[in-house]
Amino acid sequence: MQLPDHFAFSQHNLQDYVDCPRRFYLRYLLRQDWPAVESQPIQEQERLIELGQRFHLLVQQYFAGLPLSALEATIDEPELLTWWQAFLALGLQNLPGIKKSEIQYAIPFAGSRLLAKYDLIVANPAEKSYTIYDWKTSQHPPQEKWLTGRLQTRVYPFVLSTLQATQPGFTPEQIKMIYWYPAAPDQLVEFAYSQQKFAADEHSLAQLIHEIRALDESGFSLTEDERKCKFCRYRSLCNRGTLAGNLLDQSVSAEDLDAAFEIDFDQLDIGQE
C-alpha cells in the first residue's frame, strides 16, 4: 500500500491499526473525516477533550517559563484547577536535569519514519537517566495492565533509546516511562526499559510496519471485536451501528473507555513540531 507523502508511523496510528486495520485505513490513508459522533452525550465528550487539551497546554506553558500567576488566571474550571494543583504538587520543576516539554522526535525506521511526541522528558546527566512523563487526562484510575499493552509504552522509550544510542555508555536501562493521571495523582505507573525490551520492540515494531506497508486495500479488515466499534467515528461506514456509545454506560469497562477516548494531542496542534 502506498502511504501518503510524509506519512510517519506513531504510537497513535500503530495503535489504531492494531485495534482495527480498517480504522487505520479510513483515518490515515483515506483521511476520512468524522461521519459520526463517537459518543453520547456529545457535550460531555467535547468537555473532556477540551479539558485534556487545556491541561496539556498549561503544562507546556509552565515548562516554557510563563509566570504561574498568568497561567492560573486562565483556569476557570474546578476540575482543571484540581488537576493543576495535583500537577504542581508533583514538584517536577524542582527535579534536577534538563526538561523538555511537548517535544517531538522522529527516527528513520523500517523504511519509514517513526515519531514520538513526548509530554515531558527529564534528562538527568548526573544520574545518566531519562524519564519520560505522559499525562493521561482520563476520568478513570490508571489501568496498569492496559498501559502495559499499549503501543505508546513501547514506541516512546524505543524512539528515545534509538536517539540516545550514539551517546557513549548509553544503555536502554537508563530510560523509564511514567504515566501520570491528574485524576488519580498518587497512582503513578512506571515502566523501566531495558536492552531486552529494546531488542523485542525493534523486532515487533518493524514487523508491524512492514505488515502495514505490504497490505493492499482489501487487507485492512474490520475488527472482529465489535466493542471497538461502539465509540468509533466510522460506524456508519462499516455498517457497525448508528448509535454512538454512551460515556456514562456503567457496563463499559474503564479500559474500553480509555482506549476510545485516548486523545491524540499530536493532532491538536498544541506543541512544537
Site for ligand SF4 in 153-172 (CB under 6 A): none
**Taking Cα atoms as reference points, which of 253, 224, 266, 231 lies closest to residue 14?**
266
**Whose Cβ is closer to ligand SF4: residue 122's or residue 222's?**
222
Q: Residue 227, interface with ligand SF4 (CB under 6 A)?
A: no
Distance CA 186, CA 180 (A): 8
**Taking Cα atoms as reference points, which of 79, 261, 268, 91 lies closest to residue 182?**
79
128: left (phi over 0), alpha (psi -120 to 50) or beta: left
Distance CA 154, CA 158 (A): 6
- Binding characters for ligand SF4, 185-224, by CB under 6 A (x = yes): -------------------------------------xx-
Q: Residue 229, interface with ligand SF4 (CB under 6 A)?
A: yes
**Taking Cα atoms as reference points, which of 258, 245, 247, 271 lies closest to residue 53?**
271
**Whose Cβ is closer to ligand SF4: residue 127's or residue 225's?**
225
Q: Residue 232, interface with ligand SF4 (CB under 6 A)?
A: yes
Site for ligand SF4 in 14-33 (CB under 6 A): 20, 22-23, 26
CB of 251: closest distance to ligand SF4 in angstroms? 18
Q: Residue 257, interface with ligand SF4 (CB under 6 A)?
A: no
Distance of CA 191 to the CA centre of its chain: 15
Which residues sit at the interface with ligand SF4, rule CB under 6 A?
A: 20, 22-23, 26, 222-223, 228-229, 232, 234-235, 238, 240
